[in-house]
Amino acid sequence: MAHWRSDSLDWRTGHYLVNMRAVILISGNGSNLQSLIDNAIKIDLEICAVISNNRDAFGLKRAELANIETFFVDPNLFTSNEEFDQKIITIIKELDIKLIVLAGYMRILSASFINHFSGKILNIHPSLLPKFPGLNTHKKAIDAQEKYHGASVHFVTEELDGGPVISQEIVEVDSSDSEYSLAQKVLEKEHILYPKVIHWYTQNKLKLINKDCITLDGKIL
C-alpha cells in the first residue's frame, strides 16, 4: 500500500519539499489522526504508517481510506510489554521514521521504546497538564469543579503524561457540562493544537534538550 505523500511544491525553486516521515500510533476512533491526515500538506508531514494495538480501531479504517499503510500488532501474541514494543520498534525502523505521534494510543510505552526514540515522540493529552494525568480526565475536571480544562501536547518521557509540555489549549467548564459535552469541547481544541505543534516539529523549530527542557526557535519554553 502506498504511503500518504504530502510533499509540497516550492514555487520559488520548482522543487518538491521533503516532508517529515512520521508514524501514528492509535487505539481507537482516530479523530486526531483524521485531523493530521487532513492537515498533512500544510504541516509538512508524510504519514508513512498507522499502527494500532486494537484490530477494531476505527482509525485503521481512516488510514486505509487515505491510502496509508496500516499495521495491527496483537498484544496477546507477546509475553511482555517490552517484547510488544520491540515489534513496534522494528516496524518503525524499517520505515525510516523521524517522528512518532501518539493519537489516542492506550498503552504505556516501555522505557526501552522511549529511550530508543528519545526526543521524537509526541503525545496529546486531554487535560491541562500537570493536572489530571492518566484516564477519565473530563470526569476528574468536573468532580474537582474546575473552571478551566483543556488539552496539552508534550514530549513523551518515562513518566506517564509527565514529559515537558509544549503547548496547551483551554476551554471553560460550564456548570451544565457533562463528561461528553466537555470531551467534545476539548476534542475540538485538540484538532487545532496537535497539527500546530507537529508543524513546529517538522520545521525543526521544536527540540527536546533533556527530560525537563524544550526549546522552540532556539528559546527555552
Average pLDDT of the chain is 93
Q: Which of 4-8, 31-35, 98-102, 189-193 has the lowest mean pLDDT?
A: 4-8
pTM of the full structure: 0.91
Q: How confident is the model at residue 17 (pLDDT cuts 50, 70, 90)?
A: low
| Residue with the three cell numbers 451544565 | 176
- Report the percentage of the chain scoring pLDDT > 90: 90
Is a pLDDT exceeding 90 seen at residue 6? no
DSSP single-letter state for residue 80: S
Query: The dihedral of CA 202, 98, 217, 30: what is its sign?
Result: positive
pLDDT band at 2 (very low <50, low <70, confident <90, very high): very low
Inform me whether the pLDDT recorded for 15 exceeds 60.
no
Residue 219: the pLDDT is 93
Q: How far is CA 164 from CA 45, 119, 121, 197, in A?
A: 22, 11, 12, 13
What number is the average pLDDT over the span 34-53? 97
Nearest-angstrom CA–CA distance, 56 and 77 = 16
Query: Does residue 7 register a pLDDT over 80?
Result: no
For residue 42, pLDDT over 80 is answered with: yes
* Cα maximum dimension of the chain: 56
How does pLDDT run across 139-189, given as a tens digit for each residue?
999 999 999 999 999 999 999 999 999 999 999 999 999 999 999 999 999
Domain 8-220: give its CATH superfamily: Formyl transferase, N-terminal domain (3.40.50.170)
pLDDT at 1: 45
Is-contact 207 217, C-beta < 8 A?
no
Find residue 154's DSSP bridge partners: 123, 165
Query: Rounded to whole angstroms, how far apart are CA atoms 193 and 139?
Result: 22
Which SS3 state, helix, strand or coil, does residue 217 take? coil
Give 180-216 pLDDT, tens digit per residue. Answer: 999 999 999 999 999 999 999 999 999 999 888 999 9
The residues annotated with a catalytic role in the active site are 125
Q: Is the pLDDT of residue 123 over 70?
A: yes
Contact 63, 91 (CB under 8 A): no
pLDDT given for residue 211 in this prediction: 82
Return the pLDDT at 182: 98
Q: What SS3 class is residue 190?
A: helix
What is the domain partition of the chain in residue ranges? Answer: 8-220
At 164, list the grid cell: 515537558
Q: Where would I find the H helices in 66-149?
A: 81-94, 111-116, 137-143
